């Protein structure tokens, strides 16, 4: 089995036994015209240089008003997948309470109370939630956009599953991911992210020569990693198998980016050295610097890129080698 996929597969096989039913909710958005056909503005450079192609119609599993009847005190497992190009969902539960048990296919060491949850493009979260709405009410999954709240999924109550709530679920068994080595001696690289609208980038390398931003834009390039507006010929770094890698990602742009690593899961490392949960995507906010670390245990050439495809195709991609 390909290692890059095992996290997702193992979680699939380990649904907690007390779960009454489970559901995959694919969150997406679409840019539609007034007659409900897809807007033909694909490739618009304005989108590429801003937040990416943002839709005006939000769906769950292709449905703009997704619903499923449920029972009070029913326990559900919800696998949330952000399949949108560019939309960052700020999610909240209403009349449902529960725990995040896995992120990006990797179990958390301890289930974490599900409060608000930000899911950037490509990210996944596994939740175990109990319906606490009463008869005649609806449990809801909503997304917040500034002051607006939009319902993504509704769970109308039609009866009672059991008299009382179940106790908190046990953590899922961890996947076999090696522990991080010493960051002091880890192989380190810095990724300087620049470009985009309202950015400070004036020029970048493209096709072996330095090109000004105006000419870059004419060639569909508006972002750069370490001064290169295209996939570099040389890797960002080469790591030995088993070596710990430390990446510093400097977002010198006016936009958040969902930085996605292939072949491995990393941990965000805070300034005090504490490491977060295993992830394969990290939202790096505008003007933010983020440190991540992982053990390079998967031989091959692997992409590191922004998970918003309009940003990736317009310059935000690089690669590293594990040999």
Contact positions vs Cu ion (CB under 5 A): 257, 306, 308, 311
Closest contact distance (angstroms) between CB of 309 and Cu ion is 9
Closest contact distance (angstroms) between CB of 163 and Cu ion is 48
Q: Name which of 114 and 193 has its Cβ closer to Cu ion.
A: 193
Closest contact distance (angstroms) between CB of 315 and Cu ion is 10
Closest contact distance (angstroms) between CB of 316 and Cu ion is 5
Q: Name which of 247 and 308 has its Cβ closer to Cu ion.
A: 308
Q: Name which of 52 and 169 has its Cβ closer to Cu ion.
A: 52
Q: Name which of 93 and 201 has its Cβ closer to Cu ion.
A: 201
Closest contact distance (angstroms) between CB of 155 and Cu ion is 33
In angstroms and rounded to an integer, the radius of gyration of the C-alpha atoms of the chain is 21
Q: What is the C-alpha to C-alpha distance for residues 212 and 57, in angstroms, rounded to an integer?
A: 36
Closest contact distance (angstroms) between CB of 257 and Cu ion is 3
Q: Name which of 66 and 225 has its Cβ closer to Cu ion.
A: 225
CB 284 within 8 A of CB 260: no
Q: Name which of 152 and 306 has its Cβ closer to Cu ion.
A: 306
């Amino acid at each position: 089995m390909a290692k890059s996929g095992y996290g997702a597969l193992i979680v699939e096989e380990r649904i907690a036994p007390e779960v009454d039913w489970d559901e995959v909710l694919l969150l997406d958005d679409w840019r539609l015209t007034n007659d409900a056909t897809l807007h033909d503005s694909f490739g618009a450079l304005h989108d590429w240089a801003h937040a990416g192609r943002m839709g005006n119609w939000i769906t769950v599993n292709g449905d703009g008003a997704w619903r499923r009847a449920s029972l009070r005190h029913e326990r559900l497992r919800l696998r949330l997948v952000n399949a949108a190009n560019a939309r960052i969902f700020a999610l909240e539960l209403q009349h449902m309470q529960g725990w995040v048990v896995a992120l990006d296919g990797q179990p958390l060491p301890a289930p974490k109370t599900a409060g608000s949850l930000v899911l950037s493009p490509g990210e996944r979260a596994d939740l175990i939630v109990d319906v606490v709405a009463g008869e005649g009410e609806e449990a809801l999954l909503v997304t917040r956009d500034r002051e607006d709240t939009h319902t993504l999924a509704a769970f109308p109550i039609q009866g009672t599953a059991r008299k009382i709530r179940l106790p908190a679920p046990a953590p899922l068994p961890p996947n076999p991911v090696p522990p991080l080595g010493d960051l002091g001696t880890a192989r380190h690289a810095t990724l300087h992210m620049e470009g985009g609208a309202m950015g400070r980038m004036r020029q970048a390398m493209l096709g072996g020569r330095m090109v000004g931003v105006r000419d870059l834009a004419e060639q569909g390039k508006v972002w750069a990693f370490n001064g290169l507006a295209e996939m570099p010929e040389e890797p960002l770094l080469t790591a030995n198998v088993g070596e710990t890698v430390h990446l510093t990602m400097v977002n010198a742009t006016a936009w958040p980016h969902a930085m996605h690593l292939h072949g491995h899961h990393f941990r965000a490392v805070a300034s005090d050295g504490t490491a977060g949960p295993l992830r394969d995507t990290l939202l790096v906010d505008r003007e933010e610097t983020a440190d991540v670390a992982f053990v390079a245990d998967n031989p091959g050439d692997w992409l590191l890129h922004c998970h918003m495809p309009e940003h990736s195709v317009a310059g935000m991609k690089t690669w590293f080698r594990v040999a």
